[in-house]
Structure 1
Amino acid sequence: MKRMSIGLQMYTLRDATAQDFEGTLRQVAALGYEGVEFAGYGDIPAERMRDLLQELGLKAIGSHIGLHLLENNLDNEIAYLKTIGAKYAICPWLPVEARDTEAWRTHLVNFEKYGARFAEEGIVFCYHNHDFEFEVEIDGQIVFDALYERITPEKLQVEMDIGWVQYSGVDPLAYIRKYAGRLPLLHLKDYRGGEKGKQIDTVELGRGDLPLNAIIETASEASVEWLIVEQDTCANPPLESVATSMEWVKANYLNKF
């Protein structure tokens, strides 16, 4: 099995970063995470963020960039990513009013444009799924698949949130295999219950229902570069939760190398 790097989606720690962004990053590094994926920068200038990450030995994987920022602030987002040495820019979410079939037709055009612009700067553009991409169709094809069939890999790669894939009733292992070679980033999460139409009870890794060991092995075979831990909501203090998840990763994955 090829070793993949272990990152953390900082959205999980949004309450902590709102109070002390730099201090929270220091705690993430101390837990053993190798990289971070941002969802905002806490108003920290790019040069300061770059220096802090270098000091802590953390890699900047990339950043979740909201649709409004892609539309209105693209050049500044590119400049920040380049300064901190991040490779990936990810569209993480679409508002409810922008998810119908006609809206998706527009997104396909715009995502291709954004992907081309990022590629010019040496940055890889990705899309991060939830469940709604499996609920809408374009010309008889679910949006998740249409997205990657109609936009070339050079302009759009996959960041697969494996928890939402399983929640959508799709075989997570089959979908990882389906997008092998186009799937550099995989959000690793766990949940309990999660009947369709009900709120997911997200939990620390190893405490839920997902077949995590099989997911990790399949991800390695699919040439995933980063396993990115994310917990949308935490019943326990979030820093405690990401520490618990990292201990699971060390015991069930990193100890094999």
Structure 2
Amino acid sequence: MTFRKKIAAQMYSVRKEFEADPEATLKELKRIGFTAIQVDGMRGHSVEKISQLVKKYDFEIAGMHIKHDRFMTDLDGIVEECYAFGCKTIYDKYIDDEEQHTEGYRRTKAKLIEAVAKLAPLGFRIGVHNPEYDYNNQIDGRKVLDYLTDPVNGYGVYSEPDTYWMTIAGENPLESFKKYSGRAPVVHLKDYRSGFELADIKQNLAEVGEGEVDIEGIVRWGEANKVEYYCVEQDYSRIGIFKSLEIGFNNLLEIGERIQRETSQ
């Protein structure tokens, strides 16, 4: 697969634009060069409408982000939505704040493993995305993300590591990614610039390839460890969200294509 096809736009980046005009948003992402997106909710639109637009603009689906409470109560509805998009890779977006405690983590893991047991035979992959507190918090002596992705009776939950939140938690993203070799088919790339408060995402979040995260090192790791999609995510932008995404796309494309050329020689 060409590296270009591995670059996906994480739709949380354009949540406001998508809510206001989903077709114009997808059209602009296509203009930038994206051929894949990661779905992050319908933002008030119907599944039927959005799935039709995705087909119209010929986007691949690099997994689907699903709200935590739906994994707890609406697994059948999640499956129906996935089939509408022709996607069988689904992620718990993040554990709700009220479930950020020991019993909540245990409930979450039990539900995710239950989903794996039910859906893996149908070809589904179930995973979990991490905010920074999944590294700062622990359960049974394990960081939360490690605990959630530890296999149970042969059933495993995939990781969807996020470079920005790892950095905020004080992790080295490249070293942390190595723990999930073969277990992270989709990764989130967000960049970071130092010199601001850790909580000041509007200042310390940089365009992908413009900050201090070792994006090239992560891509080299990813190409050796079966990463299928690199999701460019930009929670906030100081220069316009589409401009930020375009900078990130172009930087990532240059890095990825160069690495592919080197490894094919």
Normalised TM-score (structure 2): 0.88
- Displacement of 1:117: 2.9
* 2:76 match: 75
Mapping for residues 97-246 of structure 1, pairs under 5 Å: 97-151=98-152, 154-193=155-194, 197-200=198-201, 201-246=204-249
Does 1:249 pair with 2:262?
no
**Aligned-partner SS, 1:165:** helix
Secondary structure, aligned partner of 1:253: helix
Would the aligned equivalents of 1:61 and 1:88 in 2 still touch at CA under 8 Å? yes
What amino acid is the match of 2:61?
A
Which SS does the other structure have where 2:210 is aligned? coil
Q: Decide whether the 8 Å contact of 1:108 with 1:151 is kept in 2.
A: no
Q: 1:34-54, CA deviations, whole angstroms, 9 ceiling, x for partnerless residues?
A: 211111124444444333323
Structure 1 counterpart of 2:230, one-letter code? L
User: Judging changes above 3 Å, is the alpha-carbon distance between structure 1 residues 194 and 54 closer, same or farther for their aligned structure 2 residues?
Assistant: farther
Counterpart residue number, 1:27: 28
CA distance in 2, matches of 1:197, 1:243: 25
Name the CA shift for 1:215/1:159 in 2 (closer, same or farther; >3 Å): same
**Aligned-pair distance for 1:181?**
0.7
- The Cα shift of 1:153 comes to 6.9
Q: Offset of 1:95 from its aligned partner?
A: 2.2
Determine if the alignment matches structure 1 residue 61 to structure 2 residue 41.
no
Between 1:136-145 and 1:208-217, the stretch displaced more is 136-145
Structure 1 residues 153, 84: closer, same or farther in 2, change over 3 A? farther
Runs (5+) with no aligned partner, structure 1: none
Answer yes or no: is the 8 Å Cα contact 1:168–1:196 preserved in 2: no
Is the 1:176–1:222 contact (alpha carbons within 8 Å) kept by the matching residues of 2? no
Match of 1:17 in 2: 18
Distance in 2 between residues matched to 1:8 and 1:151, nearest whole Å: 32
Output the TM-score relative to the length of structure 1.
Answer: 0.90
Distance 1:81 1:242 in 2: 25
Alignment gaps of 5+ in structure 2: none
Q: CA deviation at 1:100?
A: 1.4
Deviation (angstroms), 1:73: 2.4
Q: How many residues align?
A: 257
Q: Distance in 1 between matches of 2:198 and 2:218?
A: 24
**Cα distance change, pair 2–250 in 1 and its aligned pair in 2 (3 A):** closer
1:94 paired residue number? 95
Q: Which amino acid aligns with 2:223?
A: S
- Deviations along 1:41-86, one digit per CA (max 9) or x if unpaired, are 2444444433332332210122111112222322122111112111
Letter of the 1:132 counterpart: Y
**Cα displacement (A) at 1:196:** 7.8
AA matched with 1:191 = Y
Kindly indicate whether the alpha-carbon contact (under 8 Å) linking 1:90 and 1:125 is maintained by their aligned counterparts in 2.
yes
